[in-house]
Structure 1
């Protein structure tokens, strides 16, 4: 295993460590009967992480960059194996970064500033509110004129705060699966390279033995003459 693969493995291992910590707060919201205490604990954790020292986010982004740098260095070889395995690993890693930047960060920002109208109107909460208003119009509880005049940028409710936390938890689970794909691709590439190297060594040994036998028989003939 070279240093480039080491960059990728170290990066993924660090990210898995972060996700393991978040899973302590995520899993109760996704897979168990949770209560207000679980919601409050998850919100405190994410807000503490978000409002923490700049060194925390710098370390996280630096480790993400390390993984990208390692994969780009491996992909630069442009062998058939690099194109398939390192290319797939890079796609999976970029997918996890897309989840982080497109889902996780906006929801954490929304939790940290729940009355920010601009953040709310750019989040999935707006879609939920629009669907709720549409359902009330369809049920006849509200006219279309009333629906058009209903503001969408009001502060988060308790249910919407809970929904944002569950979206965060689900996003972290998806990132875990994407990073597992990166590990699988790298392990498969290492195993295939090792198998090819062993096969090449065995072939070279057979050729050396054949050359040795051929040289021995040739010297025997020359002595007999």
Structure 2
């Protein structure tokens, strides 16, 4: 039981950390994907683009801390899956799949998006004669995909956290029932 509790701690800490990061990005993402504010919309794309360039230019220690936190969450899942009951195996396995989906979104969309935005190598949508003109992605679409990736990641992590909390509550209730049954026998 102690390994499961420690594993849960190793999971909940990183998930809350990531949700905090995503919440801090929400003001940048909101006007890019959900609203159409009055005035020039390009202002919000510029703000988001500047923010992403600033994040990408941060010192290497920032990305290392982030990767350590990602690894801590994975360690928590592996700790919980080690000698787990069948019920816990299914639940923790499903939570691990959600966590891995979040990591996949991070690697494929967020890391790649940071590199594209920093380099400014958006698709050239003005090309008329190129046979691959449909493959180009504009600056606005690239920034929208980045903002939507943050939202998807937040929803996946929030759902995984809620499931983890439900499991903790169920385990605590079973433990209390077991203790109450033990006291009645005495």
TM-score range, shorter chain: 0.7 to 0.9
**Aligned residues between the structures:** 180
Pairing partner for 1:8 from 2, 11, 20: 11
Partner of 2:180: 202
SS in 2 for 1:2: helix
Under a length normalisation based on structure 2, what TM-score does the superposition of the two structures give? 0.87
Q: What is the Cα deviation at residue 24 of structure 1?
A: 1.3
Could you list the runs of 5+ residues in structure 2 that have no partner in the other structure?
A: none
Distance 1:151 1:95, change over 3 A: closer
After superposition, give the CA deviation of every residue in 1:131-189 in whole Å (9 maximum; x if it has no partner): x99xxxxxxxx8xxx554x67898x7xxx111111100001100011101211121111
Matched, 1:87 2:65: no
Alignment CA distance shift 1:26-1:151 (3 Å) = closer
Match of residue 213 from structure 1: none
Which residue of 189, 206, 215 corresponds with 2:167?
A: 189
Structure-2 separation of matches of 1:87 and 1:188: 15
Q: Structure 2: how far apart are the matches of 1:92 and 1:193?
A: 21
The question of 1:44 aligning with 2:60 is answered no
C-alpha root-mean-square deviation of aligned residues, in Å? 2.5
TM-score (norm 1): 0.73
SS at structure 1 position matched to 2:36: coil
Q: Does 1:17 align with 2:20?
A: yes
State the partner residue of 1:139: none
Structure 1 residues not aligned, in runs of 5+: 134-141, 209-225
